[in-house]
Chains A and B, each alone.
Chain A
Amino acid sequence: MIASENGKDEVRVLRGRCVVPGVAEGEALVTRDAISGWGGIDSRTGTIVETRHELRGVSFAGKVLVFPGAKGSSGWSNAFHLTRSLGVAPAAMLFNQMSTKLALGAVVTRSPSMTAFDQDPLAEIETGDWVRVDADRGLVEIRKRRATV
Chain B
Amino acid sequence: MVAPKISLSGVTKAFGPKKVLQGIDLDVAVGESMVVIGGSGTGKSVLLKCILGLLQPDGGSIKIDGEETAGINGRGRHRVMRKFGMLFQGGALFDSLRVWENVAFGPIQSDGMLPAQAREVAIAKLGAVGLGPEIGELFPSELSGGMQKRVALARAIAREPEIIFFDEPTTGLDPIMADVINDLIVKCVSDLGATAVSITHDMASARKIGHRIAMLHEGRLIWQGRTAEIDHSGDAHVDQFIHGRAEGPIQMQVRRL
Q: Do A and B bind each other?
A: no
Residues in B lying within 8 Å of A, measured CB to CB: none
Q: Report which A residues bind B (CB closer than 8 A).
A: none
